[in-house]
Structure 1
Amino acid sequence: MASNELKGFILTRRWRDAPAGTEIEYWLATDAGPVKVVLTARTSVAFVESRHRPALDAQLAAMPGLQVRELGLKTFGQGPVVGVYAKHFRQLGQLARALQAQDIPLLEADVRPHDRYLMERFITAGVRVEGGRRDGATIVDCRLGPAPDFRPVLKVVSLDIETSRHEALYSIALDGTADRVVFMLGEPPPEPAQPDGFSLVYCPTRKDMIERLNDWFERNDPDVIVGWNVIQFDLRVLQKTADDCGTQLLMGRERRPFEWRTHPGRQGYLFAPTPGRIVIDGIDALKAAVWSFPSFSLETVSQAMLGEGKAIGNAYDKMAEIERRYQEDKPALATYNIRDCELVLRIFERAKLLQFVLERAHTTGLQADKFGGSIAAFSHHYLPRMHRLGYVAPSVGEIPSKAFPGGYVMDSKPGFYDSVVVLDYKSLYPSIIRTFLVDPVGFIEGSNTSDPTRVVQGPGGTVFSREKHCLPEIVTTLWRARDEAKRVRNEPLSQALKLLMNSFAGVLGAAECRFFNPKLVSAVTLRGHEMMKLTREFVEGRGYEAIYGDTDSIFIWLRRTRTNEEAHAIAADLARDINAWWTRTLREEQGLENFLEIEFDTHYKKFFMPTIRGSDVGSKKRYAGLSADAGGKEEMVYRGLEMARSDWTPLARQFQEGLLSRIFHGEPHQAFVAGYAQSMLAGRMDDLLVYRKRLRHRLDAYQVKVPPQARAARMADEHNDRVDRPRQYQDGGWIEYVMTLNGPEPMEARRSRIDYEHYLSKQLQPIGDAILQPMGESFAALTTAQRGLF
């Protein structure tokens, strides 16, 4: 590495229009500490079809500072374009609005300067810094290039606050550095006791708390702030507190404030861009990494992942206890406060969330704390490659939105089976894109090519160029990177690459994407349909039976009971032969290299596919099985059944699990069904009768059709009003309730007797009949005697 070369990881990015031109700022984490890179006097570019040049020139006369250049680029409609270069990025927005009034699109005018600079240089998160002028920790007008292998060691702080029930700030805890501290509102006692492991600093005013917090961030200078709901609650409350106190919240680098923004489509949802630091919410990070929990509360997640929690009970107990500790035992409140910080840090460590977030940034090209963003990630990879093939991107909405086929779901054959194996196509949609050369530019090139030998025929009359395309190469690069990540056991990187590749087909089918085209996404999904049907024919030609299939998986009944070793061997042979057939067929019939790969997934010693409730038709995406791995280790698996769904009661889930487990293991089940119903009717299972459901709208939005959870929530908040507690459910959320003889009643205000008949007929009987009827039995027949006793 040259002496004047530095490698870094992009923490934050922003742009602004300065007098000399657009200025781009990147904050980097480097091995030598944080560095700010400033690129000055940058020009911005957009494109207009050459045929609109007279209208463009008329607008430019009133907009000094814009220049037009002839370029060797064209639109997807094959029209040549000119480039419009602006001294200030906002000028492009003004020009776009002026041209829009004449129905003339200014193409790519929405690509922000700091994003375009990176994407056109194939930079994602790791950068190489060369040259420039150095001024302390700032480098001005250097050159940046990609450094994909650079991984920084980041300094992380976990932040959590405690407040009154009305969000009056009581304490601020910071953990993750050597300077572990809790700032507590109040005067210190005459003989203050210091808790073990952290400093407790008393602050006479909330203004003093905010100023000490600002000083802490300047002194400790972390790269990353983590927390739980940290932006929507903790940082929001801190900002409001600072505003109310007439002071500034300066947690960014160089003592800069948050640059608050609201989400355009989610009322009240906030973003908190922070100069020089990334803010990672644990809930968002877990969801992005495809973790799933019944609830994403810190208590639920910490219990599930760490086996321990916050040590204070429900929301009402928590608020009352926080208030008591603040008034009577501030050291205990401080301990509780910093305990939340510790739990968040341990969850991040257990789930490797920080590594996942960093690898995701390396993979997508998006800022590390930006979640979602599949469309932006696609554009980051696609635009520079498309430009090099001579095209500019279309505008969003250029093609009208239209429905397209989804993944293939085979009609199921319900019932109980022995020896079912599942084969699964590895990354089906990315492998289709790669094999059949599905691509936006390739589609345009293929549609304008008359030579049939230069195109690949796709479903629905689509054709794709064999020579000019971008997406297959992007997928290939990511695929190889994932194979390497798996080889070196970098699971966070492997997961990030998998999620990105798998998002590409969905992006092509998203109307808000500039590359949206129903024909393109259909070329992927319909090819998947064709593949699954051909796979079924292949399997059944070998004498087995396909009983179900879903998008990329096929469930194969081996016709008779097989040993575990036999089933695994048959599945491996089928996968090998199917792959060989694809390789031979694609090469001989279409001259294509095969990247389709089916692999053995699971052997179910016992398998159950239910019917759609109330019919004889087999259900879809719902099944259960007793799987066995190569070593014979067994596991009960549930997909889509009540056992796997959070909107059914624990009573129903445990009943389903117990009944299926007994049947799969050949154990008597009739006595279990009768005994379970008897115990429930006798009141011995009341703790399993609780529904936990989500209010997806504001409570006042439920007017015409009021579901049970909304009725229970209204009753709960009426009770809260009576006992002078804050309302809990006006803006949605989760509610726990039971069904009583007077309807749904919340757990915190239950008055009536439980309606056991409801649970028998609405929870247990539907599950029981779905499982028992294929065996010639019924729930009612097994439980009639018990129902007469209660």
Structure 2
Amino acid sequence: MAPTFQQGFQQGFILTRHWRDTRDGTEIEFWLATDEGPRKVRLEAQTSVAFAEAGQRAAIEAQLGLSGQQRAEVRELPLKTFSQQPVVGIYTSHYKQLTALERTLREHGIKLYEADIRPPERYLMERFITATVQIAGGEQRGHTITGCKLKPAPEYRPALRMVSLDIETSAYEDLYSIALEGCGQRQVYMLGAAPETSPQLDFALEYCATPRQLIEKLNAWFQQHDPDVIVGWSLVQFDLRVLQKNADKHKVPLLLGREGRQIDWRKHHAKQEYVFASLAGRIALDGIEALRAASWTFPSFSLENVAQTMLGEGKDIGDAYDKMAEIERRFREDKPALALYNLKDCELVTRIFDKARLMAFILERSHVTGLQADHFGGSIAAFGHHYLPRMHREGYVAPSVGDIEVGPSPGGFVMDSKPGLYDSVVVLDYKSLYPSIIRTFMVDPVGLIEGAAADAQQGIPGFRGAVFSREKHCLPAIVNALSAGRDEAKRQKNEALSQALKLLMNSFCGVLGSPDCRFFNPKLVSSVTLRGHEMMKLTRELVEAAGYDVIYGDTDSIFIWLKKEYADDAAIAIGQGLVDHINAWWKEKLKRELGLDSQLEIEFDTHYRKFFMPTIRGTDTGSKKRYAGLSVNGKGEEEVIYRGLEVARSDWTPLAHEFQKGLFNRIFRNQPYQDYVRDYARKTVSGEFDELLVYRKRLRHRLDEYQVNVPPQVRAARLADDYNKSLQRPQRYQNGGWISYLMTTSGAEPLEVVKSGIDYEHYLTKQLQPIADAILLPLNDSFAGLTTSQGNLF
């Protein structure tokens, strides 16, 4: 095929990035989604670079000579280390050559800086590219473009082709069926022979004689329909992993990448059972990780629970062994029904992605962070992507991880609370507190180095001896740009972009406080968090000087008791008056004392008509991060908000959740509560609430790791797996997971095998009484006082 030469600019979104060393040097490969279809950009003969102190040049060149690395070059550069030492650049034609050199030099006591930055990330960050690009020049053969240059294209957003994938297997992960929904298709491939009669189906169902044919059909589907994105539930850890396991078992390649390429697997360095899957030209998105990245939370991230919560519907088979037994039955007796169930999972995932607008968030997150779209976590990498190129232009190379000794760094400020039941509590909240501190006080790694080298009187004081430069810094400008972008996203009602920008900005302080970050320095993170402590204390003084009581404060929020009951409008007006006063006070103070323009902004958040702050259980001391309040939501409806209380926590039973909600609703609305408490206790003991007694807890470790302290959930899991083993079923809990159990007169027993009677006294004293007393004791009442007078329930 003759090449065609690129005319003008073609725009694309980076789906995946890869590199390899060839005979001619390092080659970088980017797969893009474009309006004209998928494109592979191949950048050939890319040079790799790292840095070293100039004083080590002779020793480095000697090592290059000894190792025979002729295709390496050492150059003088106008850069320096954070210790103010001039540096040279070491340039190699192959990236593996650079990493081998780094290991050799390290053995001789010579440190290379930034040798760990892989070629695709180096190429993108130094050009200020995050996720979208313009392709300039080059020639195209088929879908491959070479000899081009890439530039940022910040406004471009692609329309991606998405498929939802799900598989069904035996209990031992033998493949039964594969379902695909997307790219205009609804397809199921099923192992076995077609039944003589089959119901009318609204999707394509094709039967395969062997597991090998299942994999071959899947490969062909991907080649024909060519999706950009694969989504699923536990997609990588289960579906793709099990597909690979079956492909290997039956000696057939699994070719889900573009150009018929296999999955590139690698294991997590710490959790070997956790795997990463890289597919050339396709994004693999797990729905659970995508929801978590977008800050969604659920007591359980099972597909059934999330679908019921978000969509109001779920699957047609129960969980655990009921599910496995029914899958086996359908596979034997009713394969069309199994196909329908398989496809239903795909459709639920697609609808969850649509309902939560997850694809829009994932695209904006990639655009904001510079990370590949299916790279979750990665706050440190995102920080480096933004910071390193700007730092280079300020004349510095980045330090290495571990250059600064790890020391304690304070967290957010949490005030002592004043427990009790209150009328009219107003909450004020500092907008993006830590980013605004960075912007106002110029907190910055380069600024810290420059401030230490200059006259301290001219710098901006931080904490723990830190002084920051007024003129030379990088991070404040980055945060300013992100903040302005978020304000614009809000104006345009682009919630996905606004959320992505917020999460990135708010991650910066945590990154600077992480020893795994190359810019870690206790002076940096302390100059943010301790400034926040100072701000909250001064804010409390301002509020109390205005005649109100501060009853609690948490990192960036302050809770103010107005001392008497106010209607919503009046309380909001008081809160807004405090906001205006506090913001004006900061502007005047910072300009007068430090010559700084304040970016600190407190905002009105909530008026609680009723507010409850509990004590720490068994003490008179106010608790922290735990409260409940009655407010009016955006629809004008009264709503009880819970933070950190049992009703908001998954490790308490539904019995406790429902009891706490009912009790708060009565007390906040000044309704009688005594009969409610007595009646709830009576119904619990009589067995009317037995369906609410189930504990559901997570096993965070392997069962054999629990030796000394054996909590109830572990005992229940061991009983369950002993029972499973006796029935020759797979043991579900050996490597962790979630267990559901009841507390019986014999202790914790799993739902799989409950042999003893329910221990109702446990539920009264361990579930209901602690909740009731936390609320009732400030009212001079108690659970025991109410229930023992009604028939001696104990």
Q: Report the residue type matching 1:12 in the other structure.
A: T
Letter matched to residue 699 of structure 2:
L
Give the residue type in structure 2 aligned to 1:441: V
Pair 1:116 & 2:116 matched: no
Alignment of 1:589 onto 2:590 = no
1:338 aligned residue (336, 343, 348)? 343
1:749 aligns to what SS in structure 2? coil
Correspondence for 1:427 among 420, 424, 432: 432
Structure 2 unmatched runs, 5+: 1-5
The 1:155–1:294 alpha-carbon spacing in structure 2 relative to 1, beyond 3 Å, is same
Contact 1:565–1:630 (Cα < 8 Å) also in 2 = no
Structure 2: distance between partners of 1:451 and 1:623: 44
Partner residue, 1:249: 254
Paired residues of 1:603 and 1:629 also in contact (CA < 8 A)? no
User: For 2:779 and 2:354, how far apart are their aligned partners in 1?
Assistant: 48
**Paired residues for 1:673-684 under 5 Å:** 673-684=677-688
User: Which residue type is aligned with residue 110 of structure 1?
Assistant: D
Please report how far the alpha carbon of residue 700 of structure 1 lies from its aligned counterpart in structure 2 after TM superposition.
Answer: 1.1
CA distance in 2, matches of 1:662, 1:624: 13
Alignment of 1:532-547 (within 5 A): 532-547=536-551
Contact 2:540 2:550 in 1 (8 A): yes
The change in CA–CA distance for 1:140 and 1:194 in structure 2 (over 3 A counts) is farther
Q: Which runs of 4+ in 1 moved over 6 A?
A: none
| Contact 2:198 2:336 survives alignment (8 Å) | no
Task: Indicate if the aligned counterparts of 2:742 and 2:748 stay in contact, CA closer than 8 A.
Answer: yes
Which amino acid counterpart does residue 195 of structure 1 have in structure 2? L
Q: Out of 459-468 and 164-173, give the one that drifted further.
A: 459-468
Q: 2:282 aligns with which of 277, 300, 322?
A: 277
Matched, 1:233 2:223: no
Tell me if the contact between 2:456 and 2:467 (Cα under 8 Å) persists in the aligned partners: no
The Cα of 1:658 is off from its aligned counterpart by 1.1
Secondary structure at 1:418 match in 2: strand
Distance 1:742 1:183 in 2: 47
Q: How much does 1:103 deviate?
A: 2.5
Amino acid at match of 1:652: A
Deviation track 1:94-121 (CA, whole Å, cap 9, x = no partner) reads 1111111123211000000100100000
Aligned to 1:153: 159
Take 1:566 and 1:767, find their aligned partners in 2: how far apart are those partners?
33
2:179 alignment partner in structure 1: 173
* Cα deviation, residue 247, structure 1: 1.1
Deviations 1:594-626 (A, max 9, x none): 111100101011111011111111100011110
Match of residue 752 from structure 2 = 748
Q: What does residue range 480-519 of structure 1 map to in structure 2 within 5 Å?
A: 480-519=484-523
Query: Quick check: 1:194–1:200 contact (8 Å CA) kept in 2?
Result: no
| 1:223–1:278 contact (8 Å) kept in structure 2 | yes
Kept after mapping to 2: 8 A contact 1:568/1:630: no
Q: Counterparts of 2:391 and 2:273 in 1: how far apart (Å)? A: 37
State the Cα distance separating 1:510 from its structure 2 match: 0.5
Match of 1:556?
Answer: 560
Q: Is the 8 A contact 1:564 1:632 kept in 2?
A: no
Matched, 1:696 2:700: yes
1:725 corresponds to which residue?
729
Q: What are the superposed Cα offsets for residues 173-205 of structure 1, whole Å, 9 maximum, x if unpaired? A: 010122321111112234555511x11111111
Give 1:359's aligned residue. 364
Task: Report the secondary structure of 2:647's partner residue.
Answer: helix
Contact 1:608 1:623 in 2 (8 A): yes
Does residue 785 (structure 1) correspond to residue 789 (structure 2)? The answer is: yes
Which of 67, 77, 83 lines up with 2:89 in the alignment? Answer: 83
The range that moved more, 623-632 or 668-677, is 623-632
Provide the identity percentage.
65
Where structure 1 has 5 or more consecutive residues not aligned to the other structure, the ranges are: none
Greater shift, 48-57 or 78-87, is seen at 48-57
Residue number in structure 2 paired with 1:571: 575
What is the CA–CA distance in structure 2 between the aligned matches of 1:467 and 1:561, rounded to whole Å?
50
What's the offset of the Cα at 1:678?
1.1
Please give the secondary structure, in 2, of the residue aligned with 1:577.
helix
* Inter-partner Cα distance in structure 2 for 1:653 and 1:482: 37
Number of the residue aligned with 1:48:
52
For the Cα contact (< 8 Å) 1:260–1:271, is it kept in 2? Answer: yes
Task: Kindly state the Cα deviation for residue 633 of structure 1 after the two structures are TM-superposed.
Answer: 3.0
Picking from 24, 29, 32, the partner of 1:25 is 29
Q: TM-score, normalised by structure 1?
A: 0.98
- Partner Cα separation in structure 1 for residue 281 and residue 240 of structure 2: 16
Kindly tell me the number of residue pairs found equivalent between the two proteins: 787
1:124-164 deviations in whole A, cap 9, x for unaligned? 00100000121111110200000011000000000000001
Give the distance between the partners of 1:648 and 1:412, measured in 2 at CA. 24
Specify the code of the residue in structure 2 equivalent to 1:166: Y
- SS of residue paired to 2:575: helix
* 1:64 alignment partner, one of 70, 80, 89: 70
2:778 equivalent in structure 1: 774
**1:410 corresponds to 2:430:** no
DSSP-derived class of the 1:530 partner: helix
Q: In structure 2, give the amino acid aligned to 1:406.
A: G
Q: 2:759 and 2:472 mapped to 1: Cα distance? A: 67
The aligned amino acid for 1:398 is D
Summarize deviations over 1:22-59 as a string: whole Å, max 9, x none. 00000000000000000000100000001111221121
Tell me the CA shift for residue 451 of structure 1: 5.8
The separation in 2 between residues aligned to 1:597 and 1:325, in whole angstroms, is 60
- Counterpart position of 2:42: 38
Letter in 2 for 1:221: D
SS in 2 for 1:647: coil
CA contact 1:678–1:787 (8 Å) conserved in 2: no
1:184 to 2:190 alignment: yes
SS in 2 for 1:173: strand
2:336 is equivalent to residue 325 of structure 1: no
- 1:276-296 per-residue CA deviation (whole Å, 9 max, x = no partner) reads 001000000001011000111
Distance 1:558 1:789, change over 3 A: closer
Match of 1:296 in 2: 301
Deviations 1:397-420 (A, max 9, x none): 111211111100000001111100
Residue in 1 that maps onto 2:3: none
3-state SS of 1:180 partner: strand
Residues in 2 aligned to 1:528 and 1:41: alpha-carbon distance in whole angstroms: 48
DSSP-derived class of the 2:460 partner: strand
1:631, distance to aligned residue in structure 2 (A): 7.3
| SS of the residue 1:260 aligns to | strand
Q: State the alpha-carbon separation in 1 of the partners of residues 650 and 196 from structure 2.
A: 51
Q: Say which SS state the counterpart of residue 151 (structure 2) adopts.
A: strand
1:667 and 2:686 aligned: no
Cα shift at 1:718: 1.1
How far apart are 1:769 and its partner, in Å?
Answer: 1.1
Q: Is 1:643 aligned with 2:647?
A: yes
Which letter maps to 1:254? Answer: E
Instruction: List per-residue Cα deviations over 1:351-399 (Å, max 9, x = no partner).
Output: 0011111100000000000000000000000000000000000001111
RMSD (Å), alpha carbons? 1.2
- Partners of 1:173 and 1:338 within 8 A in 2: yes
Letter in 1 for 2:194: P
What is the rounded CA distance, in whole Å, between the counterparts of 2:722 and 2:552 in structure 1? Answer: 49
- 1:376-525 maps to which residues of 2 (within 5 A)? 376-450=381-455, 452-453=457-458, 455-525=459-529
1:132 aligns with 2:147: no
The letter of the residue matching 2:164 is S
Aligned with residue 349 of structure 1, among 343, 346, 354:
354
Partner AA of 1:779 in structure 2 = F
Compare 717-726 and 101-110 and name the one that shifted more: 717-726
Q: Could you tell me how far apart the structure 1 residues matched to 2:526 and 2:116 are?
A: 27
Q: Please point out which of 758, 764, 769 is paired with 2:768.
A: 764
Q: Deviations over 1:48-72 (max 9, x none)?
A: 0011112211211022211000000
